Amino acid sequence: MKPIFLTTAYALIAATSASAQDLTVTGFGGSLQDAQRAAYIEPFETATGIKVNEDTYGGGISKIKAMVDTGSVVWDVVQMDENEMILACDEGLLETVSAADLGLGTSLLDQAKDTDCGVGFFVWSLVLGFDGARQDKIPTSWADMWDLETWPGGRGLRKQARMTLEIALVADGVPAEDVYDVLATPEGADRAFAKLDEIKDHIVWWESGAQAPEWLASGDVALTAAYNGRIANANKEGREFGISWTNQLYAMDFWTVVKGGDLETSRKFISFAMDAPNQKVFTDQIPYGVTNTEANALIDPEIAPQLPTDPDNLEGAVALSTAFWVDHEEELQTRFTQWLAN
């Protein structure tokens, strides 16, 4: 990573490089954080002389809340999904960081700039994954997860109500555009859990994104919900995994700054990371969609069809409704946990 990446963002940060201090950037680890390191962290260090320390966590706001409440903040920039960012923002746990303040408004996707508590920096997707080396017939929809005769074996699903209940409803025939209207009703929630009942004994629940491709490789599951980037990276290592993009569930992750963290340096890092050439490098490392539309013209044409944001892949997709889950997560996750225990 050389000064080729030091475009608009460099102008904002070069002046402070001589007196820079350390910054801690926290993410979800694995191949995703490897990609962030190559595209953002290491080039930022080169550009500014600022040492970036890394940490990882499994999501949620409990650690952030504990830091803020006790005045012992050790994280600065934190990757968060949109739902948890909103919860943390509402509790006053995050600094004000907006795309408009960073001068990014005109080039970003609308969803990426629709908050004052963070900036959306990539789009990820939950897709149906399978091992092409083991399967003679290619699954093409979430409904195929329920076809145990054609595809015998385990089924991998995310151990959370969020995104799992949507999969169940789509598999049961609910159109993508109606999923949240249906799930918002008692009858719709009952329908989702009843659908999961049909394959409950065959489900292997994963909690880390790395587990889904690992279980495909081992044969522990025949079909699995998986993050598209994890599948793609497994294929880089020689696997023959496939993806069904039909009714993919996609969402956005955000850069945020913990209340009491180093706001000035954090803003410089976020601005740098949102620069189009750096976002292009991110897609080279892992095929997640980027939010700076100026990066689209730079993306490798061979990589573009692997992105959740490719127009063909977006057809029939389910956009994760953060508004729905902010209102219903406690209720549905409690029911989901009880359902798992029975």
- Domain-by-domain residue ranges, the chain? 3-123+251-309, 125-250+314-341
Determine which of 17-26, 70-79, 93-102, 158-167 has the lowest per-residue pLDDT on average: 17-26
pLDDT at 5: 38
pLDDT at 43: 98
* Overall average pLDDT of the 177-190 stretch: 98
The yes-or-no verdict on residue 156 having pLDDT over 60 is yes
* Overall average pLDDT of the 77-101 stretch: 96
The yes-or-no verdict on residue 63 having pLDDT over 60 is yes
Pairing mode, if any, of strands 77-81 and 241-257? Answer: antiparallel
The yes-or-no verdict on residue 9 having pLDDT over 70 is no
pLDDT at 6: 40
- Closest by alpha carbon to 75, among 60, 55, 90, 58? 55
Radius of gyration of the chain (CA): 20
pLDDT at 21: 78
* Overall average pLDDT of the 280-291 stretch: 96
pLDDT > 70 in the chain, percent: 94
The yes-or-no verdict on residue 105 having pLDDT over 60 is yes
* Overall average pLDDT of the 32-37 stretch: 95
Please tell me the number of Cα atoms within 13 Å of 104 on its side-chain side: 34
Please tell me which residue, 10 or 217, carries the higher pLDDT value.
217
Quick check: 253 and 63 in contact, CB under 8 A?
A: no
- Sequence-ordered list of residues with C-beta below 8 angstroms from that of 330, at least 6 positions apart, any chain: none
The yes-or-no verdict on residue 318 having pLDDT over 60 is yes
pLDDT at 146: 99
Note whether 3-123+251-309 and 125-250+314-341 share their fold. Answer: yes
pLDDT averaged over the chain? Answer: 93
Give residue 202's pLDDT band: very low, low, confident or very high (50, 70, 90).
Answer: very high
Pairing mode, if any, of strands 203-206 and 155-158? Answer: parallel
Give residue 244's pLDDT band: very low, low, confident or very high (50, 70, 90).
Answer: very high
* Overall average pLDDT of the 323-327 stretch: 94
Three-state SS annotation for 290-316: ECEHHHHHHCCCCCHHHCCCCHHHHCC
- Considering the segment(s) 125-250+314-341 as one domain, its CATH architecture is 3-Layer(aba) Sandwich (3.40)
* Overall average pLDDT of the 172-184 stretch: 98
Please tell me which residue, 167 or 20, carries the higher pLDDT value.
167
- Closest by alpha carbon to 125, among 215, 263, 241, 225? 225
The yes-or-no verdict on residue 16 having pLDDT over 60 is no
pLDDT at 30: 85
Give the DSSP per-residue string, 236-290.
HTT--EEEEEEEEEEEEEEEEEBTTS-HHHHHHHHHHHTSHHHHHHHHHHS--EE
Distances (CA, A) of 119 to 73, 85, 249: 20, 10, 20
Q: Name the superfamily (CATH) of residues 3-123+251-309.
A: Periplasmic binding protein-like II (3.40.190.10)
pLDDT at 112: 94
The yes-or-no verdict on residue 276 having pLDDT over 70 is yes
The yes-or-no verdict on residue 13 having pLDDT over 60 is no
